[in-house]
Amino acid sequence: MMNYGRDPAVHARDLTVVRGGRTVLDALAFDVPRGRITGLLGPSGCGKSTLMRAVVGTQAKVTGTLDVLGRPAGDPRLRPRIGYVTQDPSVYDDLTVRQNLDYFAAVLHPGRAARARRRETVARVIEDVDLTARADALAGNLSGGQRSRVSLAVALLGAPDLLVLDEPTVGLDPVLRRDLWHLFHTLATDRGTTLLVSSHVMDEAERCHRLLLMREGRILADGAPDTLRDRTGSATVEAAFLHLVDEARGAAPAPAVPAPEESAR
C-alpha cells in the first residue's frame, strides 16, 4: 500500500445512505485528513450521526465509495483502529469508573499476560478524561458529563487511529468543554490521532482544524474555519454557515445580524 500515511483517514465519494425510504445522505464527497480534528457541523437531523455510523461501519444501506484508514468502511480489520462514542454513554451503572474500564480493557486485551498492560492503559485513559478523582465512584452516581467521559475513556483504551465522537460536549459546562477540546488537540498533535467530532454548536467549529458543514443530508462547505469565514466575508463560522445556506438557496444573503455579546469570542 503506497503513500499509506498520506491517504486521508476517510475518503468519501458519492456516499449515499437511505433510511426508511428516505435519502438521508445524498451523494457526499469529502475527505478527512489524518492527525487533525475535523468538525462535522450542522443542525439537528441533517445527518451527522448517520455519516458517523457509516464511517464506523454500523450503518445499513450505504452506497458509493467510503474508505476508512485505507480500507472499505466496515472492514473487520478496522474495528480495533476506530474509537466511536455515541450520544448514549455505554457504561455499566453498577460498576465503578475503573471497573468499567477494567472490563472493556479485558475484552480488548484478554489474558493474564496482558494484566500489567491493562492496568497501565486504564490508568492512562482515566487520567486523559480527567476522572482520576472519581475513579472509584459508581458510574450510576456520576453526572451526565462525567458518564460521557467514561464512554470516551473506553474509546481511548485501544489507542485508536481514528476517533469518531458524536456530540461529545453536549450538556457539559464551559470548563469541561474547554478541557475536552484541549484533550482532543493533545490527541491529534501528540499522538497523531484523527478526530471526527460532530456538534450542532457552531462556536465549537472554531476549535477544529477543518470543518464539514452539513445541511439536509448534503455537505454545504468543507474547509478550515478561517477559509470559510474569509470566503463568505463573515466574522464567525455561524455567520458563514448562514451565508452558505442562503447562497445554496440562491437567495441574496440576509443582512448580517450582530452577534449577541455573550457569543462573541
Ligand X SMILES: Nc1ncnc2c1ncn2[C@@H]1O[C@H](COP(=O)(O)OP(=O)(O)OP(=O)(O)O)[C@@H](O)[C@H]1O
Interface residues with ligand X (CB under 6 A) are 19-20, 22, 24, 44-50, 200
Nearest CB to ligand X, comparing residues 24 and 162: 24
Separation between Cα atoms, residue 40 and residue 210, nearest integer Å = 9
Cβ of 190: how many Cβ atoms within 10 Å? 8
CA dihedral sign, ordered 162, 166, 167, 169? negative
Name the one residue in this structure whose C-alpha cell is 435519502. 23
Separation between Cα atoms, residue 231 and residue 46, nearest integer Å = 23
Non-local (6+) Cβ contacts of 82 within 8 A are 55, 56, 57, 68, 69, 160, 161, 162, 163, 164
Nearest CB to ligand X, comparing residues 200 and 209: 200
Q: Which amino acid is at 227?
A: T
Nearest CB to ligand X, comparing residues 25 and 122: 25
Nearest distance from residue 225's CB to ligand X, in Å?
Answer: 20
Nearest distance from residue 74's CB to ligand X, in Å?
Answer: 17
Cβ of 113: how many Cβ atoms within 10 Å? 8
The x, y and z cell numbers of residue 45, run together, are 437531523
Nearest distance from residue 62's CB to ligand X, in Å?
Answer: 12
Non-local (6+) Cβ contacts of 148 within 8 A are 85, 89, 168, 170, 171, 172
Nearest distance from residue 254's CB to ligand X, in Å?
Answer: 23
- Residue number with the smallest Cβ distance to ligand X: 20
Nearest distance from residue 46's CB to ligand X, in Å?
Answer: 4
